[in-house]
Structure 1
Amino acid sequence: MQRLIQANGQPHFGLFEQAPDEINYRDFDFRSPMGRPLGRLAKWRRFHQFQYFGLISDQLIGGCALASLSLAGIGFVYLFHPASGRMLEHQFKLPLGFGTDFSQRPNDGICELRSGRNLLRLENRGADKRLLVELRDGTRIDAQFSEAEPAFQPMCLNTPTATNGWVYAQKVAGVRCTGQITSELGEFDLAELGAFAHHDWSAGYMRPETCWNWACLSGQAGALRVGLNLSCGVNETSFTENCFWLDGELLKVDTVRFEFDRDEPLRPWTIRSFDGQVELRFEAHGLHQERMNLGIMASNFKQIFGRFRGELRPHGRPAVSIDNLWGFVEDQYVKW
């Protein structure tokens, strides 16, 4: 598929074997809930895009996100050292997205944020993905992975949202990661750490006020490379983004339920799928959180990292034991 939006102004919906070449949102026939055609300003204001790159190993955990929210460009990066409990965090908020540049080509483009001497960049070149972070405090992250060798099937999905929107999501988890990290926490070679990566490229016309939970893990379970992507609250209209990967093979999962204490998110979480393929318990070790309330825009965001235990039960196959694998959960409220 070359373009997500068809000639009639309507999106392609469903699960795709491969990503569209372009998320051509400007060609979308965007209308109000009452059917009135909306113009270019409304298309720009309501279109949101974000990208996330996560790193997982026993010795180092990291995450970097970029978001283009029309009225603001937002980015964050953090590194967590489990052995010492030390954490480095940096957040950036740029009015109207000045200093940001976002490509609408999921597999052929660059999304980046520049703020003074700080750079966050995510590069997508076909099956190859790269994270480059250079900060004024000397922190440098250069991490990459490939979906080509060994072969990996990303999850590519477009779902309708609310009355008049849609969300395209492209997810990867359970791939080996290479590269170098230099920071106050030390110097790290990701290949030597046996690090894994996960990646999220999402864009579209999301609900103006929404919330979601998300879970992701990547690691080695016995002889299998395992990745997991579960969500509740964004992409459950007609289709779901829920899935896990075994040695790069994509296996779909039904809807999921997150059970946790919103007031105490560092207490254990339980995550179960309706079809019985997922039964997991998550124990937190730390979190990255942000709160923002500007009236017309608001966010209450918690990304929590820790360890998963439980089972994945693919239909017609032996169960896969998940024993202390690192990963993430998320609790997010947003108005945009």
Structure 2
Amino acid sequence: MDRLIQADGQAHFGIFPHAVGDVNYRDYDLRTPMGRQLGALSKWRRFHQFQYFGLLSDQLIGGCALANLSLTGIGFVYLFHPASGRMVKRQFKLPLSIGTQFSQQPNNGVCELHSGKNLLRLENVDGHKRLWVELDDGTRIDASFNENEPAFQPMCLNTPIASNGWVYAQKVAGVRCVGTVKSALGDFDLGGINAFAHHDWSAGYMRAETFWNWACLSGQVGAQRVGLNLSCGVNETSFTENCFWLDGELIKVDTVRFDFDRQNPMAPWRVQSFDGQVELHFEARGLHQERLNLGFLASNFKQIFGQFRGELRPKGRPSIAIDNLWGFVEDQYVKW
């Protein structure tokens, strides 16, 4: 599909076999809940976009996100060394997203954030994903993967949101990652440490006040590459993004339940799917969190990294035992 918004101003909805060429949000017939048509300023103000690139291995965990929330641009990057428990991280907030660049082409564009001598950059070209980070403290990350080699089916979907919006999301997990990391935690060859990656490209007219929980893992189980992406609270109107991957094959999962202590996110989590295909327990090892409350804009964000154990039970196939695979869970509230 070349363009997400059709000639009549309405969005395509569903789960798509391939990435959309252009998320042409300015062509959407955006209206109030009472039917009044909205103009270019409202389209700019209400459209939000973000990307996330996660690194997972026994020796190094990493996360980097970029977000364009119209009134502000946000970015963060962190690295965690499981053996020592040490962590390095940086956060950035740029008024009116000045210093950022965001492409609306999920597989053919660049999103980046500049702040002084710091650069966070995510490149997406023909299925090749690359994260490039330069920080003024000497940290360098050059990480990439190609979702087309070996054959991989990303999760691509567009769901209706509230009475007048939609969210396009494109997810990848369970792919090998190559490149290098240089930081205060040490120097790492990502291919040499058998690193895996997760990637999330999301954009749309999202609910003005919302929350979500999310879980992801990536790694090797025996001879099989395994990835998982689950969420609750977002992208689940008519369709869901819930799935796991076995050697690149996408296996759809029903709705999911996250059982955890919101006041103590470092306590154990349990994640189950309604159809019984997912039964996982999560033990936290570290946390990245951010809080922002400006009245008109607010966020309470907790991304926890740690290890999963349990089972994936694809229908008609043997169960897959998950034994301390690294991954992420998330608890997010946002008003924007």
TM class by shorter chain equals over 0.9
Q: Percent identity?
A: 78
| Matching residue of 2:41 | 41
User: 2:77 corresponds to which residue?
Assistant: 77
Matches of 1:312 and 1:186 in 2, distance apart? 34
Match of 2:218 in 1: 218
Structure 1 CA distance for aligned equivalents of residues 107 and 235 of structure 2: 21
Partners of 1:223 and 1:215 lie apart in 2 by 23
In structure 1, the residue corresponding to 2:62 is in which secondary structure? strand
**1:195-234 alpha-carbon deviations (Å, 9 max, x no partner):** 0000000000110000000000000011110000000011
Query: Which residue identity lines up with residue 335 of structure 1 in the other structure?
Result: K
Quick check: 1:187 aligned with 2:187? yes
Match of 2:260 in 1: 260
Equivalent position of 2:131 in the other structure? 131
Q: How does 1:211-250 map to 2 (within 5 A)?
A: 211-250=211-250
Structure 2 residue runs of 5 or longer lacking an equivalent are none
TM-score, normalised by the number of residues in structure 1: 1.00
Q: How much does 1:148 deviate?
A: 1.6
Residues 285-307 of structure 1 deviation map (CA, whole Å, 9 limit, x = unaligned):
00000000000000000000000
Q: Secondary structure at the match of 1:192?
A: coil
Taking the TM superposition and a 5 Å limit, the aligned residue runs for 1:1-336 are 1-336=1-336
Deviation at 1:250, TM superposition (A): 0.3
Q: What is the one-letter code of the residue matched to 1:164?
A: N
CA drift at 1:57: 0.2
Return the offset for 1:127.
1.4
User: How far did residue 20 of structure 1 move?
Assistant: 1.0
The offset of 1:68, in angstroms, is 0.2
Secondary structure in 1 matching 2:192: helix
Give SS of 2:18's match: coil
TM-score (norm 2): 1.00
Name the aligned partner's letter for residue 130 of structure 1. R
| RMSD, matched Cα | 0.4
Distance in 2 (CA, whole Å) between partners of 1:124 and 1:235 is: 22
Tell me which stretches of 4 or more aligned residues in structure 1 moved more than 6 Å: none
Distance 1:278 1:223 in 2: 20
Q: Distance in 2 between matches of 1:149 and 1:232?
A: 30
Q: Could you tell me how far apart the structure 1 residues matched to 2:171 and 2:200 are?
A: 5
Q: Distance between the aligned counterparts of 1:2 and 1:148, measured in 2?
A: 19
Mapped to 1, the partners of 2:5 and 2:175 lie a distance apart of: 30
Equivalences, count: 336
Question: d(CA) in 1 for partners of 2:219 and 2:195?
Answer: 8
How far apart are residue 267 of structure 1 and its match? Answer: 0.4
The code of the aligned residue for 1:59 comes to Q
How far apart are residue 149 of structure 1 and its match?
A: 1.3
In 2: Cα distance, 1:127 partner to 1:331 partner: 28
Could you tell me which runs of 5 or more consecutive residues in structure 1 were left unpaired when the two chains were aligned: none
Distance 2:264 2:226 in 1: 28
Displacement of 1:261 = 0.2
Deviation at 1:147, TM superposition (A): 1.1
Paired AA for residue 147 in structure 1: E
